Amino acid sequence: MSDLALAEALLDLSALQQVGVRLVVVSVGSGEAEIAQRLIDGELKWGSSVLDNPKKTTGVLDRGQLALIEAKGADPLSAELIALATSVDASKLIVLLEQAIREEGVSLHAVSRERAATWTGNSRELFLTAAEACAQGIHRVHLLDESRQGVLLDELFSNEGVGVMIHSDDYLSIRPISAEDIPELLAMIGRSIRDAHLVPRSYEEIENSLSDFLVLTIDDNVVGCVALHPYPEDCGEVACLYVKQNHGTAGYGKLLVAAAEKRARDLGLPWVFALSTRAVDYFVSQLGYEPVALEKIPASRQKRLRESQRESVVLRKKITR
């Protein structure tokens, strides 16, 4: 690592140590950077260990120190390193690389262990090894660009991070909403309601139709929602589709609509509809819906739409079994 990159990393390590994160640092470089002296200069609490002695490493950690292992010339994801990580029950294995990993010019983010194990693109060997580390009990392997300023903190303390993460746990999930999620949901969609993109909803309205709602979570943080409101006329309305602004380009809207459609399929509903003022093109081109006349949806919903005076386009889709 360059002197600047190393200095940035040590600042991040100091911040992590101050909030109680247990750290094992394995230096695989030439040793020219004199990392031990840098730790002293940075006033980090640390102690030395070796790659093949997890008991000694655990002892250093139990004393509240960072465990420093100098393994010059070792592979950043060697079998020995993975064995050490599993032995000390590490939840994350972080590798600092000379440059960011990209696939056909596109930055990657989260890749499941199953997908990484069959990777055929760039950095294939790295992905396969990371997948093997996950299979052995490491929840997440992070592959980071060492030259990016503040890369460790940006990766660990944001929902989506800034590097590539190979994971074996539930990073992204779509689940039924709980009562505890309602305040978060109302806060999340508030801006869209204010701008008249979504129909206003109260706490009580959501609570009374709780079983209709699904939320998308990233690392247990709610970042999107959708509702499927069933009607006696054997159809369902896909409604309240929203994804937080800083997650809006990740394809989560499509995942949420697919989840609502699956629920409709499970309920035996032959078709669904949606009402939109601004996302008509998205529903048509990306989700396979088609505009239809207002009279094609249940009379009760027609009545409420007329009363609201919203100029919504009615979109409909057949649900295939």
| Three-state DSSP class for residue 313 | strand
The band of 33, judged by pLDDT with boundaries at 50, 70 and 90, is: low
Q: What is the pLDDT of residues 236-283, one digit of tens each?
A: 999 999 988 776 566 889 999 999 999 999 999 999 999 998 889 999
Torsion of CA 182, 186, 188, 190, to 10 degrees: 180
Structure tokens, 190: 């508030």
- 230 pLDDT exceeds 90? yes
| pLDDT (mean) for 277-300 | 93
Domains of the chain, each with CATH number or no CATH:
3-169 (3.40.1160.10), 173-318 (3.40.630.30)
CA distances from 102 to 155, 171, 256, 303, 320 (A): 16, 20, 26, 51, 36
Element at 151 (helix H, strand E): helix 151-156
Q: What is the pTM of this model?
A: 0.68
pLDDT tens for each residue of 194-219: 665 667 788 898 999 999 999 998 87
**What confidence tens digit (pLDDT) does each residue in 49-105 have?**
999 999 999 999 999 999 999 888 778 889 999 999 999 999 999 999 988 887 765
